[in-house]
């Protein structure tokens, strides 16, 4: 029996109109649709796709990913989710795994990619609109400037101050609970006035804050901060 193909599909940040034509074709063609399920049984990537594609008759495979820094526990969790997908691939069924934003930027697909490939299955990836690109468009703000670099930084990472001190523009992703610390670090680097924030980009509860003074500390996980380019301080 011919093996199925594992597709990673970027679905964009939230607005279903940002789904690519290629993503739509893959989703329509695959009999099995896999999607991450977060705490509280939330399936954001799947909810986005349901607004653009009729999924009736397809198998919906929900994947649970641990939120922990324990590498051994993470590896075991990723292996379990990959096994669920490979069960369908072994039967010759193609599986499309939905990912918020793009499949190459902090994606759940990347956790399973090598496991499935090493098991001998074909893997393909379809890019999506990254959240920070959609945020830049909402703010009507360029993310890059001349020859200066653009830095993509997870807001809760160690060494945030050193990253903010680098020349060029900055994108702070997954801000959420780290916002108070991010505010302080931006002030220390003289970048506070250059920062804007978008919460839940493309979703019904989207909020745009052109100044961080407009944002409350209790912002959600899907919060992106953009810092205009140039030298810090």
For the segment 126-179, what is each residue's pLDDT rounded down to a tens digit? 999 999 999 999 999 999 988 889 999 998 888 899 999 999 999 999 888 889
- In the three-class reduction of DSSP (H, G, I as helix; E, B as strand; rest coil), residue 178 is classed as helix
Domain-terminating residue out of 109, 126, 143: 126
Tokens (6 digits) for 181: 């610390």
**Given 126, 143, 160, which residue is the final one in a domain?**
126
Which tokens belong to 165? 């001190």
- Do both 195 and 98 map to the same domain? no
Facing residues of 227 across strands? 170, 195
Measured distance CA(4)–CA(1) in Å, rounded: 9
Helix axes 71-90, 109-118, angle to 10 degrees: 60
How far is residue 144's CA from residue 159's CA, in Å, rounded to a whole number? Answer: 22
Whole-structure pTM value? 0.90
**Does residue 233 belong to any structural domain of this protein?**
no
Instruction: Mark whether 80 and 165 lie in a shared domain.
Output: no
* Average pLDDT over the chain, rounded to an integer: 92
Is residue 45 domain-shared with residue 60, that is, in the same domain?
yes
- What number of CA atoms fall less than 13 Å from residue 13's CA on the CB side? 25
Q: Would you give the distance in Å from CA 165 to the centre of its chain?
A: 25
pLDDT (tens digit per residue) in 179-219? 999 999 999 999 999 999 999 999 999 999 999 999 888 78
In a shared domain, residues 143 and 121 = no
Rounded CA separation 44/79 (Å): 22
Q: Are residues 15 and 119 in the same domain?
A: yes
Q: What distance in Å separates the CA atoms of residue 80 and residue 112, rounded to the nearest whole number?
A: 10
Q: How many domains does the chain fold into? A: 2
Clarify whether residues 122 and 9 are in a common domain.
Answer: yes
Which of 70, 93, 126 lies at the terminal end of a domain, its last residue?
126
Cα within 13 Å of Cα(57), Cβ side: 7
- Domain extent, residue 72, equals 5-126
Is residue 232 situated within a structural domain?
A: no
Q: State percent of the chain over pLDDT 90.
A: 79
The pLDDT-based confidence of 233 (bands split at 50, 70, 90) is very low
Q: Are residues 151 and 110 in the same domain?
A: no
């Amino acid at each position: 029996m011919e093996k199925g193909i594992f597709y990673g599909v970027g679905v964009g940040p939230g607005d279903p109109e940002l789904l690519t034509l290629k993503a739509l074709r893959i989703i329509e063609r695959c009999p099995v649709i896999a999607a991450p399920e977060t705490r509280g049984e939330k399936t954001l990537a799947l909810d986005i796709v349901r607004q653009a594609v009729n999924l009736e008759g397809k198998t919906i495979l929900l994947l649970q990913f641990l939120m922990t820094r324990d590498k051994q526990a993470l590896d075991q969790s990723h292996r379990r989710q990959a096994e669920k997908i490979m069960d369908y691939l072994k039967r010759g069924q193609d599986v499309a795994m939905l990912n918020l934003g793009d499949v190459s930027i902090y994606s759940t697909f990347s956790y399973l990619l090598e496991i499935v490939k090493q098991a001998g299955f074909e893997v393909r990836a379809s890019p999506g609109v990254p959240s920070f690109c959609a945020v830049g468009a909402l703010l009507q703000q360029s993310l890059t400037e001349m020859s200066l670099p653009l830095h993509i930084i997870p807001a809760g990472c160690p060494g945030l101050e050193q990253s903010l001190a680098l020349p060029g523009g900055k994108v702070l992703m997954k801000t959420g609970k780290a916002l108070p610390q991010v505010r302080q670090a931006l002030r220390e680097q003289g970048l506070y006035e250059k920062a804007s924030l978008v919460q839940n980009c493309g979703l019904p509860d989207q909020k745009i804050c052109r100044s961080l003074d407009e944002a409350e500390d209790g912002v959600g996980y899907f919060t992106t901060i953009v810092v205009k380019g140039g030298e810090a301080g």
